[in-house]
């Protein structure tokens, strides 16, 4: 992956903080709605993909004024690792920091606090320095952590992010482990992580998506995932690969659609394919593995003209915001396999 040197990033942050740097971003149009009818791109373009996630995240924070797992939260997990115009990333990062500052007056629900802290920590990890905003956000998260290690997570049926407590637990553990400056060893973080580990011991992963998150977590905290579990979960995910080379998001859970209609299980999509490849790579599966190569082939041939990788929502048809996270994880998967040019 391509990383900006810390000194260069600091200089770019100072430049982009000016109103002159913000003006072009304010004029950026949001991307067109996510649609299954959008044509496939004739050739994969990393630049178009980055432009899409930039536009989606900037528009989300302007229109919604919040952090969400499927758009700007996912964005901040990856954007610092992508070599592209830094101004949009800096603007999103600035929004997150201002969002945390605003908690002095009004805090979001627990999932908003954890998602914000986790995204900030992963962004910090790419830049090599723990920031005060990340420390403050995680401080709030640990304060409201329940005795069993979890949080009172949003459960509105929107898989995979807003349907059970497991996602928030694994996300927070991954992010706290990744946070630079030995953050995981500090008193508050160490106590919170101990509670997270207790939760995971008492609540084994049930769904394939849970198991993929555990594989990702095992890449950060190897002692938390045993060899037998790792190999078994790898096999379960590999067995879900479809004939087209991709993975279906709906196949990673048991989520029900709001209208009772059937899930799309017979073809790959952006989130399912990108996320599973990324998780398998974090677990140590080599980029040369035949299933990984087939999955990368799917990503290279299924990007849409706008730059996104479309994913049908496993809850209801409409805006399909999971396509935003799907595009982020497609880029992460390609990066993990040395495919970003």
pLDDT, tens only, 212-239: 999 999 999 999 999 999 999 999 999 9
Give the residue, 239 or 83, on which the prediction is more confident: 239
Give me the pLDDT at residue 21, please.
Answer: 54
Q: Which residues lie below 8 Å from residue 211, measured CB to CB, with a gap of 6+?
A: 205, 233, 236, 237
Contact criterion met (CB below 8 Å) for 222 and 284: no
Contact criterion met (CB below 8 Å) for 65 and 102: no
Report d(CA 197, CA 166) in Å as an integer: 11
pLDDT, tens only, 98-157: 999 999 999 999 999 999 999 999 999 999 999 999 999 999 999 999 999 999 999 999
Confidence of residue 15 (pLDDT cuts 50, 70, 90): very low
Give me the pLDDT at residue 6, please.
Answer: 43
pLDDT, tens only, 173-196: 999 999 999 999 999 999 999 999
Distances (CA, A) of 314 to 96, 160, 213, 257, 264: 27, 8, 18, 6, 8
Supply the mean pLDDT for the chain. 93
Confidence of residue 28 (pLDDT cuts 50, 70, 90): confident
DSSP assignment string, 289-334: SHHHHHHHHHHHH--BTTS------SS-SS--THHHHHHHHHHHHH
Phi, psi of 131 (to 5 degrees): -100, 165
Q: Does the pLDDT at position 53 exceed 50?
A: yes
Give the residue, 10 or 280, on which the prediction is more confident: 280
Report d(CA 277, CA 233) in Å as an integer: 13
């Amino acid at each position: 992956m391509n990383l900006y040197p810390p000194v260069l990033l600091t200089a770019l942050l100072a430049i982009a903080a000016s109103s002159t740097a913000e003006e072009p971003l304010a004029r950026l149009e949001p991307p067109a709605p996510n649609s299954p009818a959008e044509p496939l791109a004739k050739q994969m373009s990393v630049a178009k993909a980055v432009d899409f996630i930039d536009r989606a995240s900037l528009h989300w924070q302007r229109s919604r004024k919040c952090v969400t797992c499927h758009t700007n939260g996912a964005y901040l997990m990856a954007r610092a690792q992508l070599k592209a115009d830094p101004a949009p990333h800096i603007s999103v990062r600035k929004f997150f920091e201002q969002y945390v500052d605003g908690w002095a007056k009004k805090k979001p629900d627990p999932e908003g606090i954890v998602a914000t802290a986790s995204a900030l920590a992963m962004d910090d990890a790419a830049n090599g320095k723990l920031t005060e905003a990340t420390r403050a956000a995680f401080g709030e998260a640990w304060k409201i952590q329940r005795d069993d290690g979890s949080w009172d997570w949003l459960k509105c049926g929107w898989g995979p992010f807003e349907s059970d407590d497991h996602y928030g637990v694994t996300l927070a553990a991954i992010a706290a482990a990744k946070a630079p400056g030995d953050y995981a060893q500090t008193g508050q973080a160490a106590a919170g992580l101990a509670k997270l580990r207790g939760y995971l011991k008492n609540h084994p992963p049930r769904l394939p998506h849970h198991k993929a998150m555990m594989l990702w977590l095992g890449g950060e905290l190897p002692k938390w995932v045993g060899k037998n579990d790792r190999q078994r979960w790898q096999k379960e995910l590999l067995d879900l690969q479809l004939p087209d080379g991709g993975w279906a998001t709906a196949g990673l859970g048991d989520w029900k659609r709001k209208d009772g209609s059937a899930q799309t299980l017979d073809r790959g999509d952006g989130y399912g394919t990108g996320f599973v490849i990324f998780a398998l790579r974090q677990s140590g599966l080599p980029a040369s593995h035949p299933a990984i190569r087939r999955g990368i082939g799917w990503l290279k041939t299924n990007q849409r003209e706008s730059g996104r990788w479309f994913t049908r929502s496993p809850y209801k048809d409409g805006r399909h915001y999971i396509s935003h996270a799907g595009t982020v994880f497609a880029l992460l998967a390609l990066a993990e396999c040395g495919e970003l040019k």
